[in-house]
Structure 1
Amino acid sequence: MFARDIGIDLGTANVLIYVKGKGIVLNEPSVVAVESDSRDVFAVGEEARQMIGRTPLNIETLRPLKNGVIADFDVTEAMLKHFLEKIEGNGLLSKPRMLICCPTDITKVEQKAIREAGEKSGAKKVYLEEEPKVAAIGAGMDIFQPSANMLIDIGGGTTEVAVFSMGDIVMSSSIKMAGNSFDADILNYIKKEYTLLIGELTAERVKIDVATAFPGSRDEEMDIRGRDIISGLPRTITVTSEEIGEALKESIGTIVEAARQVLEETPPELSADIIDRGILLTGGGALLHGTDQLLAEELKVPVFVAENPLDCVAKGTGIMLGNIDRINKKPRTG
């Protein structure tokens, strides 16, 4: 009897859990439905996500993680416990060692909150590691050579831009602009241009099925339904790739500028390596149509989307778990 080491991609949009020897065993939305008065947990993960915008007054849906850090400690702890209990049938026993990923710029207090949430959910020991570094390893980058690799990880709450050399981060930037921001942009655009209220799940579908980051690269249209602000009645409209791309322009431009700033501050020898090797995109935002094309045009560097970009962080935790005894950083405390 032993406890398996586990890695957790504790994302604003999704939680992925990697169990050593088994691979990724869980991928669920970071959503919890609670009873409004008692705060008792009603549903977690995909079941709770399906309830967004559809719950009665006594139930509310929450995202306990915001911008890659814990916004609601108790709900995060309950969510982690639920997910760990769910995978126990897959061979996870009590008191595992846990590797959790976090943004590069979080504070000591935020680090402590993540560590405590892991411990209270049943971990024997919690290790924290910077998300872009784990994503790079999971995407297959050899970051331990004395040459540069650059990665842009576009998650749900944050975008992490990092340049690596000799196994560590040389330059980095973390901004609170990512997939959830795109959803909000679409929701606000529809409200402003069409006086139509739509839900979060509808905005996400529009992003996936219609949106593009690169003008002229996609020509789709989609019928969406919502509630007319003026009449209060249901109404259907049609949106196109071109107009949704325009709605996302400012947010995507912020990500481009963050990447440009990191490049401008990177030492010249490493910049030369990046020109040769290009930039790798990971995270769910890497799947936004045309993102690689736009970044390549704006930064004048080849840009590639990682294979299975959503899984890179979780896969990276698995690789690092294989060497967990040699991780020279002690578990971080506040």
Structure 2
Amino acid sequence: MSIDIGSDSIRISVEDQNDIWSERSVIAMYRRTDGKESVLATGIDALDMWQRVPSDIDVVFPFNSGGISDFEAGLQLLRHIFVEVQGRLLWISPKIRVAIHHSASTGDKERYCQLLLKSGAKKVSLVNRSFAAAMGAGVPVDEACGYMIVNIGASTTEISVLALDRVAHFSRIHVGGNMMNKAIGSYLEKKYEILISSFEAERLKCEHIQAVYKKDETQIVWVMGKDTQTGLPKRLEIPLWHISRSVGPTIR
């Protein structure tokens, strides 16, 4: 079993199966009166509860910027995911390969190994994420020719140059999809006095952002949100190129 643990999503590939299993990296925990917590929801179901739940329910994002921000929540999430992937009646301790970024510290690697072993893994192997991405894309990394791999995640962007089966150069910046979402929201709030949800920002980013764009006022997009002055629902149309413009400083 191979697993890629990201800030936004967890993706799993099982040997001899063609499908890639994907789940959002979020878990909702119910805090009982005795101080203990129990799993209420995971993945997209937990994400739907974000910012909409009472104080005794915690919606947690256990992974951030390539690291583990909440070990216990991450442990509960992975245990649930492994059961979902393998089936309750077919549970066995799998051998797991986990993708990890090139500059991960020894401590980070150890924490990931401990997390996966406690989640039920029989054995854990670490795989360089840059090589995993390159091989998945069919890039001949063994050639005497440099190939640049850019991996844009939710909270970080990793840039690698691969040649002769080694990493010739690696850099990592804390800019990713979540920062683009925030840039879109801030731009629309300032220019159009509309507050949009993280889901609306994600939709606008995925459907309409272009790295190169023209200031064409005839192409428009509908935006749904809340009026900053009245607090009432607001729906307006804006020029499409404004969405790309909003993330310009972040991309640069």
TM-score normalised by L of structure 1: 0.69
What is the distance in 1 between the residues matched to 2:89 and 2:215?
46
Residue matched to 1:52: 50
Give 1:182-221 correspondences, 5 Å limit.
182-216=180-214, 220-221=219-220
Select which of 59, 62, 78 maps to 1:61.
Answer: 59
Root-mean-square deviation (CA, aligned residues, Å) is: 2.2
What is the distance in 2 between the residues matched to 1:210 and 1:36?
39
What is the distance in 2 between the residues matched to 1:91 and 1:184?
42
Select which of 24, 38, 41 maps to 1:40.
Answer: 38
Conserved in 2, the CA contact under 8 Å of 1:103 and 1:131? yes
| One-letter amino acid of the structure 1 residue matched with residue 166 of structure 2 | D
Alignment pair present for 1:233 and 2:232:
yes
Report the Cα offset of residue 77 of structure 1.
Answer: 1.0
Give 1:136-155 correspondences, 5 Å limit.
136-155=134-153
Deviations 1:85-137 (A, max 9, x none): 00113996422111111222222222221111111111111111221111001
Residue matched to 1:323: none
Alignment pair present for 1:19 and 2:17:
no
- Shift in CA distance, 168/14, structure 1 to aligned 2, threshold 3 Å: same
| One-letter amino acid of the structure 1 residue matched with residue 228 of structure 2 | I
SS in structure 2 opposite 1:81?
A: helix
What is the distance in 2 between the residues matched to 1:139 and 1:157?
22
Q: Give the structure with the higher percent helix.
A: 1
- Shift in CA distance, 240/39, structure 1 to aligned 2, threshold 3 Å: farther
What is the distance in 2 between the residues matched to 1:224 and 1:11?
28
What is the distance in 1 between the residues matched to 2:43 and 2:219?
30
Report the Cα offset of residue 170 of structure 1.
Answer: 0.6
What is the distance in 2 between the residues matched to 1:92 and 1:171?
42
Report the Cα offset of residue 25 of structure 1.
Answer: 4.4
Report the Cα offset of residue 228 of structure 1.
Answer: 2.2
Q: Give the structure with the higher percent strand.
A: 2
What is the distance in 2 between the residues matched to 1:233 and 1:121?
45
SS in structure 1 opposite 2:92?
A: coil
Calculate percent identity across the aligned residue pairs. Answer: 28
Conserved in 2, the CA contact under 8 Å of 1:210 and 1:220? no
Report the Cα offset of residue 201 of structure 1.
Answer: 0.7
Report the Cα offset of residue 24 of structure 1.
Answer: 3.5
Q: Which has the higher contact order (CA 8 A, sep 6+)?
A: 1
| One-letter amino acid of the structure 2 residue matched with residue 158 of structure 1 | T
Select which of 114, 123, 126 maps to 2:124.
Answer: 126
| One-letter amino acid of the structure 2 residue matched with residue 251 of structure 1 | T
Conserved in 2, the CA contact under 8 Å of 1:16 and 1:24? no
What is the distance in 2 between the residues matched to 1:164 and 1:131?
12
TM-score normalised by L of structure 2: 0.89
SS in structure 2 opposite 1:126?
A: strand
SS in structure 1 opposite 2:247?
A: helix
| One-letter amino acid of the structure 2 residue matched with residue 103 of structure 1 | H
Gaps of 5+ in 2: none
Gaps of 5+ in 1: 1-5, 254-334
Q: How many residues align?
A: 248
Conserved in 2, the CA contact under 8 Å of 1:95 and 1:124? yes
Report the Cα offset of residue 59 of structure 1.
Answer: 2.9
